[in-house]
Amino acid sequence: MQKNEAFQLQPNLIKSYRQKKQKVDFRFWLSVTTVALFFIGWEVVSRYEWVDPLFISSPLAIIKAGGVMVQEPSFWNNLGVSGYEFGIGFLLAMLIGIPMGVLSGWNKTFNAIVNPFISGLYVTPKVTLLPVIIIAFGIGPESKIVIVFLMAFFPIVMSAQKAMNTLDQDLIKAARTFTASEWQIFKTIALPSTVPFLLTGIRLGIGQGLIGVVVGELFASSAGIGFQLTTDGQNLMTDRMFVGVLVITLTGILLTGILGMLERRFSSWQPSKD
């Protein structure tokens, strides 16, 4: 009897799997078709000059300009400068933001000390701090590192705080019932529960950090992708400008895609909403 039931369930599982795969395939090809139609439409609009070429370039012209730019040493130098500024600033944001967010969410006394500063700086437009940062650190990489840090820090620290505020209190009470110490609870329950939220905060911080490095270089710099955008814009080289934008876009897509995969990997660690 049990064997018959197993044989009856197997076709249903196969059918369910096929239906799910068909939905995924349909959505994938729908996305591909939409993107392809967008670029074809963009090329047509540019080719027939329905929009002034001074304001928009064509995809083929951008690809051609990109092929020329990758052979220029200055392009790789600008890319390296921006990568260095983003990498150091973002690393500092994680090294400071994660411990501060976790501790402020876990310890109410520490939270009372740091939360007014976190809340106050969070609602402050970071662009308004650019002149002060440039004056203090100059137009070199240091000022861009500070800007990236400020832009990426708050999504990370606030996600860590949220993670600690959504801990399963019943699980903590059960651990305390079995005489677990605060350190044991923190290490075995609190920290693992923060991982999905931290990945979300890091993913959000990536976008903010990329904005920070480009805006900082646009404002005042002597090298970097933002500096290249400014130079190309002043010389009305629209196709080269779009290459710079494409580099930033692809970098963001790549980094957030990697974080998205990690989020799905650790999604089962999130506390249940039931």
Structure tokens at 67: 């092929």
Per-residue confidence (pLDDT) for residue 149, from 0 to 100 = 93
Q: Which residue has the tokens 């009856």?
A: 8
Per-residue confidence (pLDDT) for residue 1, from 0 to 100 = 46
Per-residue confidence (pLDDT) for residue 274, from 0 to 100 = 47
266, containing H or E segment = none
Per-residue confidence (pLDDT) for residue 87, from 0 to 100 = 92
Per-residue confidence (pLDDT) for residue 255, from 0 to 100 = 87
- One-letter amino acid of 107: N
Per-residue confidence (pLDDT) for residue 214, from 0 to 100 = 87
Question: CA 89 to CA 86: how far, in whole Å?
Answer: 5
Per-residue confidence (pLDDT) for residue 22, from 0 to 100 = 61
Per-residue confidence (pLDDT) for residue 89, from 0 to 100 = 93
Question: CA 54 to CA 67: how far, in whole Å?
Answer: 20
- One-letter amino acid of 84: Y
Question: CA 44 to CA 264: how far, in whole Å?
Answer: 38
69, containing H or E segment = helix 59-69
Got the DSSP string for 120-169? HHHSS-GGGGHHHHHHHH-SSHHHHHHHHHHHHHHHHHHHHHHHHHT--H
- Is residue 268 a contact partner of residue 211, using CB atoms and an 8 Å limit? no
- Is residue 59 a contact partner of residue 43, using CB atoms and an 8 Å limit? yes
- One-letter amino acid of 56: I
How many other CB atoms are there within 10 angstroms of residue 31's CB atom?
A: 10
- Is residue 228 a contact partner of residue 243, using CB atoms and an 8 Å limit? no
Per-residue confidence (pLDDT) for residue 270, from 0 to 100 = 53
Per-residue confidence (pLDDT) for residue 273, from 0 to 100 = 47
- One-letter amino acid of 106: W
pLDDT digit string (tens) for the chain, length 274 residues:
444 544 454 565 555 656 665 666 667 778 888 888 888 888 888 777 777 777 777 888 888 888 888 888 888 998 898 999 999 999 999 999 888 888 888 778 888 888 888 888 888 888 788 888 888 888 888 889 999 999 999 889 988 888 777 776 777 777 777 777 767 777 777 777 777 778 888 888 898 898 888 888 888 788 888 888 888 888 878 888 888 888 888 888 888 888 877 777 766 555 554 4
- One-letter amino acid of 217: E
- Is residue 156 a contact partner of residue 205, using CB atoms and an 8 Å limit? yes
Q: Give, as one character, the DSSP assignment of residue 52.
A: -
Q: Which residues contact 133 (CB under 8 A, 6 or more apart)?
A: 143, 146, 147, 216
pTM of the model: 0.77
